[in-house]
Amino acid sequence: MKNNFCIAVLPGDGIGPEVMQQAYKILNILKDKCLLNLQFMEYDIGGIAIDKYGVALPQKTLLGCQKSDAILLGSIGGPKWQSLPDKQQPERSALLPLRKHFNLFVNIRPSILHPELKNLSPLHSRITRFGFEILCIRELTSGIYFGNSGNNLNQELQEYAFDTEIYYKFEIERIAHFAFKTAQKRKKKIVSVDKANVLQSSKLWRRTVEEVSKNYPDVELSHLYIDNAVMQIIKHPNTFDIILCSNLFGDILSDACGMLTGSIGMLASASLNENNFGLYEPAGGSAPDIQDKNLANPIAQILSIALMLRYSMNLHELSDAIYSSVNTALKQGYRTFDITDNTDYISTDQMGDIISKLFIKEV
């Protein structure tokens, strides 16, 4: 089994560098104690890269990512760069090109309700008492965000604007195959979400997912319209395992599922291509409101490493060990400010130290 990996580390802006410091603690344990030959190289991205080089995704960063097995990203953007023209905005000019360059068509977002954090969920306790663990698998490089769009907003005639949802069959097939293969390693259950009662692209989506499912007879497939899916996820989140969605529906549903767990500071995300090359990052942004205060929750960044070990490196036991360390820290009562109701919380650094110590015991 391969055990030498190179990781491109991109801390980025805002709380990115603070939470990445905690991720380094885990990376160093993986390197020193787990017989992994890990190399990590750090590169600039986002606002900090604009300040240094005038572009959010410098060539050196892109080349560094190309030479790596995976990318570990912090977060990008902030008020300092908000007044730049649309095309130069850090997220738009760094994140989207990165996804496109590496053809990261799969986006994975686990939403896990930790038993210790049930009180943070906006859902009623009669729903949260069952817990839930939903994996949202979203198509990331096609659909309405990439179709033809336009407007005549500056005309004297009636103004209009349009966006087009377009899906090629192969784009649906490849994300569906990924979802079914993932389902075989979990509860063998997929809910595919669409709007096939109205949209042509959804009709193709549903038919194609049905066809792909024939290759995976051990996986149970059902379909929900997006409006019903939202209702059912709020009402019975524990009945879902994998949710398979288009780019637009996945964008919305993954945030909705995430919010049901309590804090964005707990949510990691992975974007992958067909070779399992991946970009791993927290689901949240650069959180300028808590930047440089040692307040940010580092768990999302640490769990990004767990996803990287699982999906790009095939090291499932080490991935589980990270999840287990985080669970133990929560069970032992350690909380950052975003996951507690009282003032008895610990800092970003302290949470990083505690999880690292628990991780050393696990490995």
Q: Which residues bind ligand NAD (CB under 6 A)?
A: 15, 19, 75-78, 91, 95, 264-265, 281-282, 284-290, 296-297, 300, 338
Q: Residues 191, 275, 61, 304: is their CA dihedral positive or negative?
A: positive
CB of 293 to ligand NAD, least distance (A): 10
Contact at 8 Å (CB) between 127 and 240? no
Q: What sign for the dihedral angle of Cα 22, 27, 31, 35?
A: positive
Q: Sort strands 70-75 and 4-12 into parallel, antiparallel or unpaired.
A: parallel
What's the number of CA atoms in the CB half-sphere (13 Å) around residue 285? 11
Dist. CA 270–CA 268, nearest whole Å:
7
Closer to ligand NAD by CB, 159 or 289: give it.
Answer: 289
Distance CA 121, CA 263 (A): 8
Give the shortest CB-76-to-ligand NAD separation in angstroms. Answer: 4
Which residue in the shown chain puts its C-beta closest to ligand NAD? Answer: 285
How far, in Å, CA of 212 to CA of 171, rounded?
12
Shortest Cβ distance from residue 228 to ligand NAD (Å)?
A: 28
* CB of 243 or CB of 300, closer to ligand NAD: 300
- Which residue, 224 or 354, has its beta carbon nearer to ligand NAD? 354
Q: How far is CA 167 from CA 101, 144, 192, 278, in A?
A: 19, 9, 15, 22
Residue ranges of the alpha helices (H) in 92-148?
96-101, 125-128
Q: Rg (Cα) of the chain, in Å, rounded?
A: 21
Strand order in the sheet with 133-139: 37-42, 4-12, 70-75, 278-282, 268-272, 106-112, 133-139, 242-245, 189-194, 220-225
Q: Shortest approach of ligand NAD to residue 288 CB, angstroms?
A: 6
Structure tokens at 326: 């985080």
Our CB check for ligand NAD shows the closer of 76 and 106 to be 76
Minimum distance from residue 345 beta carbon to ligand NAD (Å): 11
Tell me whether residue 263 or residue 319 sits nearer to ligand NAD (CB atom): 263
- Residues acting as catalytic residues: 145, 195, 227, 251, 255
The distance of closest approach from Cβ of residue 42 to ligand NAD in the complex, given in angstroms and rounded to an integer, is 16
Spatial separation of the C-alpha atoms in residues 47 and 79, rounded to whole Å: 10
Q: Which of 250, 253, 242, 195 is nearest to 219 (CA)?
A: 242
In the complex with ligand NAD, the residue whose CB is nearer, 150 or 333, is 333
Q: From CA 45, how far away is CA 78, in angstroms rounded?
A: 13
Alpha carbon distances (Å) from 240 to 101, 135, 227, 245? 32, 8, 16, 13
| Rounded least distance, CB 201 to ligand NAD, Å | 26
Q: Decide whether 131 or 288 has the Cβ nearer to ligand NAD.
A: 288
